[in-house]
Structure formats: C-alpha cells, structure tokens
Structure 1
Amino acid sequence: MFGLIGHLTSLQHAQAVARDLGYPEYADQGLDFWCSAPPQIVDTIKVTSLTGETIEGRYVESCFLPEMLATRRIKAAIRKVLNAMAHAQKNGIEITALGGFSSIIFEEFHLYEKSQVRNIKLEFERFTTGNTHTAYIISAQVEQGAQKLGIDLSKATVAVCGATGDIGSAVCRWLNTRTDVAEILLTARNQERLQALQDQLGRGKIMGLEEALPQADIIVWVASMSKGIDIDASLLKKPCLLIDGGYPKNLATKLQHPDIYVLNGGIVEHSLDIDWKIMQIVEMKDPGRQLFACFAESMLLEFEKWYTNFSWGRNQITVEKMDKIGQVSIKHGFRPLLNV
C-alpha cells in the first residue's frame, strides 16, 4: 500500500475543505487550532496501471498550513511533518510520498535527525520526497513545451530559479547532459551553493532574478515560497515558456499575456481515471487524472514494489535515477501535463 502526505494551501482553504469533508469542529477554527490538529487519513485511493495492475493507497492530511512558516511557527510545521509520517507508518503504509512543503520542511530542518516520534521510531526507507519524478517531469515539460511552442533549445536560454534546490539542481543536470540547450542561467539565494553547482555542471551563468528573467526563453521556477512572488510580465521575452514548479502555484494567474505560456510544473496526467477525491479538493482541472508528480512517485514505487526511499537527501538526484523513474512512469501510464 502506498501513501501520500499532503496539506492544503491556506487557512481559508483548510476551513472550507474541513467543512466539505465533514469535520465541522475544524471548519471555523483559526491558525492556532490547526497548529495542534493531528494528522488524519482522509481518502482511500485506487490506481490502475496501463499494465492492468491495480494498487491501493491512503491520503494523509498533515494539517500543516503555509501560514505556519509565514508566521514563524516553525516548531508546529516540523511537528506536523513528523506526526504525519508516524501516522502513515503506524497504519502499515509501505511507501509514502512527502508532498508540497512536507519534503521541503523535512530537508531544510534536517528531520532525518529526529527519527523518534513518541513511541514510534520512523523507518525512513518507507518514505520518499518524490523529487526525482518531479524533476524528470519538469525536464520533460521543458523539452516538450519548447517543441510545441517552436522554441529551439539549441538556441535557447533557460533560467532555473531555485537552481540549488533538490529539484532545481536535478533539472540543471538533466538540461546539461540530456539536451543541447544553448545557455543555462542559475539563480538562487545561496551564492556558495550556486558556485558549487556551476562547478559541477562545468557551465551556467550565475545571475540574480532581475537580470536573468528578461534574458530567458524558458523559465523554470522551482523556488518554493509560502507567499509566492510577483514577476513583471512586461520584462519577459515574447514568447516565453514559464514552468511553474514551485509551491504554491500562482504564476498563471499573475502573468496574463498572450505570448507568455505558463505550465503547471511537476504535474502529471494519468491515462486512466483514479478513484479518489483528494485532487478535487486541491482544485486540479481534471481531478480524476491529474496529480502532483511527487505523489505519482509513491504510486510508481508501489507498482514496481520498490519499497525504498527512492528520493532522499538534498541534491542527491542523478540523471540515471531520473531515467529510471521516467521509464516506469511511461510504463504505468503517466505523462507530463502540457497545456500550452
């Protein structure tokens, strides 16, 4: 059985969903209440592969909200992730993906050092960040999206915003070794990590956002921020392909221009309907078939019986592992979301 650990996008969203799911005691509560709310299994999932095999999973709502980071309730955020992992393990889930901010919190605050959660010792091989599949899907969106828009990668400049993160660095490695992209612009907050990435790639220009974005034919946004960010559309190239792989995904609503094409990065479509309700709650356009690639990774690991933390540790994603997860992704009927 596979598991998905997720969370909702805001306090307002959480209150509305709680009401819809039949938890009236959560529906009118403020942030302090959600800081103490325990994790809940709120959905049972069935997925059928193109091979004909059907697997079952559970969705664990962590009750984490991005406002916890924005208001510096860091201890509450950490507790949410650890408690949700313990809840998944206690319920016998063999492989569970950490979705949204769950994996970011796990890595940023070194939660691998906190394996004891009350009377449960976390078995980390039961968990995956799902970032390898996400990086593969975003890389595929770059290649396939560019082709659909007539952007020649051999002449194109790609800016990777959040380049030193787990997903961003993996996308850079893929672009560097699996494509003939002309130029890669590297942007992130940590200059030391940027220099190390540039040294590893043997190429790429380190730039700030304001300098990089106007030069890019393709922008890969994989920086995650609890409040999002504003980008001036008038400064971007036309046409421009922008792949919004951050969290929350809000760039499509902010960048309204006919020659700027925004893809929801890291989203996959399944070939067959999935029996669940959770993607409708997080407002996917086609909730029966669309989902986060990180969630799909745990499904793929269950299909293949690879009960291991396939994606684990910061900047450990290799192009070879992206190839491997990409092959089984295609095998079981997943494809990158392309709505350009």
Structure 2
Amino acid sequence: MFGLIGHLTSLEHAQSVARELGYPEYADQGLDFWCSAPPQIVDTIKVTSVTGQQIEGRYVESCFLPEMLASRRIKAATRKIVNAMAHAQKNGINITALGGFSSIIFENFNLQQISQVRNIKLEFERFTTGNTHTAYIICRQVEQVSQQVGVDLSEATIAVCGATGDIGSAVCRWLDAHTDMKELLLIARNQERLQALQAELGRGKILAMEEALPQADIIVWVASMPKGMEIDPTQLKQPCLLIDGGYPKNMSNLVKHPGVYVLNGGIVEHSLDIDWKIMKIVNMDAPARQLFACFAESMLLEFEKLYTNFSWGRNQITLEKMDLIGQVSRKHGFRPLLTVSS
C-alpha cells in the first residue's frame, strides 16, 4: 500500500475542505486549532496501471498550513510532518510521498534527526520526497512544450529559479546532459551553492532574478515566491514559456500577457481514471487523471515494489535515477501535463 502526505494551501482553504470532507469540528477553527490538530487519513485511493496491475493507497492530511511558517510557528510545522509520517507508518503504509511543503520542511529543518515519534520509531526507507519524478516531468515538459509555443531549444536561453534546490539542481543536470540549449541561467539565494552547481555543470551564468528573467526564452520556477515580489510580464520575451513548479500553482494568475505561456510544472496525467476525491480538493482541471508528480512517485514505487526512499536529501538526484523513474512512469501510463495557459 502507498501513501501520500499532503496539506492545503491556506487556512481558508482548509476550513472549506474540512466542511466538504465531513469534519465540521475543523471547519470554523482558527490557526491555533490547526496547529494542534492531529493528522488524518481522509481518502482511500485505487490506481490501475495500463499494465492491468492495481494498487491501493491512503491520503494523509498533515493539517500543516503555510501560515504556520509565516507566523513563525516552526515547531508546529515540523511536528505536523513527523506526526503525519508516524501516522502513515502506524497504518501499515509501505511507501509514502511527502508532498508540497512536507518535503521542504523535512529537508530544511533536518527532521531526520527525529527518529522517534511517541512509541513509533520512524523507518525512513518508507518515505520518499517524490522530487526525482517531479524533476523528470519538468524536464520533459521543457522539451515537449517548447515546441508547442514556438521556442527552439537549440537557440533557447533557459533560466532556472531555485537552481540549487533538490528539484532545481536535478533539472539543471538533466537539461545540460539531454538538450542542446544555448544558455543556462542559474538563480538562487545562496551564492556558495550557486557557484558549486556552476562548477559541477561546467556552465551556466549566475544572475540576479531581475537580470535573468528578461533574457530567458524558458523560465523554470522551482522556488518559493518571495513575499511582495511581482513579475512584470511586459519585461519577458515573447514567446516565453514559464513552467510553474511551485505549490500552490498561481503563476497563470500572476503573469498574464500575450506571448507568455504558463504551464503547471511537475503535474502528470494518468491514462486511466484514478478512484479518489483528493485531487478535486486541490482544484486540478481533470481530477480523475491529473496529479502531482511527487505523489505519483509513491504510486510508481508501489507498482514496482521498490520500498525505498528513492528521493531523499538535497542534491542527491542522479540522471540515472531520473531515467529509471521516467521509464517506470511511462510503463504504468503516466505522462507530463502539456496544456499551457496564456
């Protein structure tokens, strides 16, 4: 059995979903209540591969909300993630994906130091961040959608925002190895990590965001949006492909301009309907078929009976692992989302 650990996008979103899922005691509560709310299994999932194989999973709502980080409730946020992991393990889930902020919090706050949660000793091989599959899908989106919008990859300048993160660095390695792009622009806050990535790749220009974005034919956004920051779409190239790999997906609303094409990055479509309700709650356009690639990774590992932390830590994603998860993804009927908005 596979598992998905997720969270909702805001307090308001959480309250409305609680009402919809039949948790009225959660629906009218404020942030303090959600800081203490325990994780809950709120969905049973059935997935059928194009091979005919069927698997079953559970969705674990962590009750984490992004406002916890904004209000400096860091301890509450970290407790949410490890409690959700313990809940998944306690319920016999073999492999669980950490979705959205779950994996970011786990890595950034080094939660691997917390091995014991009450009477449960966490078995970390039961968990995966799903970042390898996400990085692979984003790279395939770059390759396939660039043609749709009239961008020639061999003449393209690609900017990666969040280049030193786990997903961003993997995207840079893949694009360097698998495409003949003209130029790679590296954007991140940590200059030391940027220089290390540049040295590893043997290429790439380190630029500030405001300098890099107007030069880019393709922008891969896999960073958090700094508070108060805005992207002026009139300063972007036309055509420009912007792949939004963040969560929540909001670039299509923030960046609207003729010739600027926005794609929800790291989203896959399955060939067959998935029996679940959770993707309706996160507003997927086709909730029976579309899902986050990180969630799909735990499904793929369950299909293949690879009960291992396939994606783990920072900058540990190899091209070989991306190739492997890509092969398994295609085998079981998953494909990158290719629909852009403009």
Contact 2:141 2:338 in 1 (8 A): yes
Runs (5+) with no aligned partner, structure 2: none
Q: What is the aligned partner in structure 2 of residue 109 from structure 1?
A: 109
**TM-fit CA distance, 1:224:** 2.4
CA displacement 1:160-188 (0-9 Å, x = unmatched): 00000000000000010011111000000
**TM-fit CA distance, 1:152:** 1.1
SS of the counterpart of 1:147? helix
Q: What is the aligned partner in structure 2 of residue 125 from structure 1?
A: 125
CA displacement 1:6-57 (0-9 Å, x = unmatched): 0000000000000111111100000000000000000000000000001000
Runs (5+) with no aligned partner, structure 1: none
1:211 has 2:203 as partner: no
Q: 1:139 to 1:228 in 2, by over 3 A?
A: farther
Q: 1:226 to 1:268 in 2, by over 3 A?
A: farther
What does 1:327-338 align with in structure 2 at a 5 Å threshold? 327-338=327-338
Q: What is the aligned partner in structure 2 of residue 240 from structure 1?
A: 240
SS of the counterpart of 1:133? helix
Give, as a single letter, the amino acid of the residue that structure 2 aligns with 1:257.
H
Q: 1:290 to 1:205 in 2, by over 3 A?
A: same
Separation in structure 1 between the aligned mates of residue 228 and residue 290 of structure 2, nearest angstrom: 22
Separation in structure 2 between the aligned mates of residue 46 and residue 203 of structure 1, nearest angstrom: 44
1:281 has 2:320 as partner: no
Number of aligned residue pairs:
340
Separation in structure 2 between the aligned mates of residue 2 and residue 291 of structure 1, nearest angstrom: 15
Q: What is the aligned partner in structure 2 of residue 65 from structure 1?
A: 65
1:134 has 2:121 as partner: no
What does 1:130-169 align with in structure 2 at a 5 Å threshold? 130-169=130-169
Q: What is the aligned partner in structure 2 of residue 20 from structure 1?
A: 20
SS of the counterpart of 1:42? strand
Q: What is the aligned partner in structure 2 of residue 186 from structure 1?
A: 186
Separation in structure 1 between the aligned mates of residue 305 and residue 102 of structure 2, nearest angstrom: 23
Give, as a single letter, the amino acid of the residue that structure 2 aligns with 1:178.
H
Give, as a single letter, the amino acid of the residue that structure 1 aligns with 2:124.
F
Contact 1:70 1:227 in 2 (8 A): no
Q: TM-score, normalised by structure 1?
A: 0.99
Separation in structure 2 between the aligned mates of residue 97 and residue 229 of structure 1, nearest angstrom: 30
SS of the counterpart of 1:272? coil
Give, as a single letter, the amino acid of the residue that structure 2 aligns with 1:99.
G
Q: What is the aligned partner in structure 1 of residue 320 from structure 2?
A: 320
**TM-fit CA distance, 1:237:** 0.4
Separation in structure 2 between the aligned mates of residue 226 and residue 115 of structure 1, nearest angstrom: 32
Contact 1:138 1:245 in 2 (8 A): yes
Q: 1:244 to 1:229 in 2, by over 3 A?
A: farther
Q: TM-score, normalised by structure 2?
A: 0.98
Separation in structure 1 between the aligned mates of residue 298 and residue 148 of structure 2, nearest angstrom: 29
1:300 has 2:264 as partner: no
Q: 1:77 to 1:58 in 2, by over 3 A?
A: same
**TM-fit CA distance, 1:227:** 5.4
Give, as a single letter, the amino acid of the residue that structure 2 aligns with 1:130.
G
CA displacement 1:74-127 (0-9 Å, x = unmatched): 000000000000000000000000000000000000011111111111000000
Contact 2:94 2:126 in 1 (8 A): yes
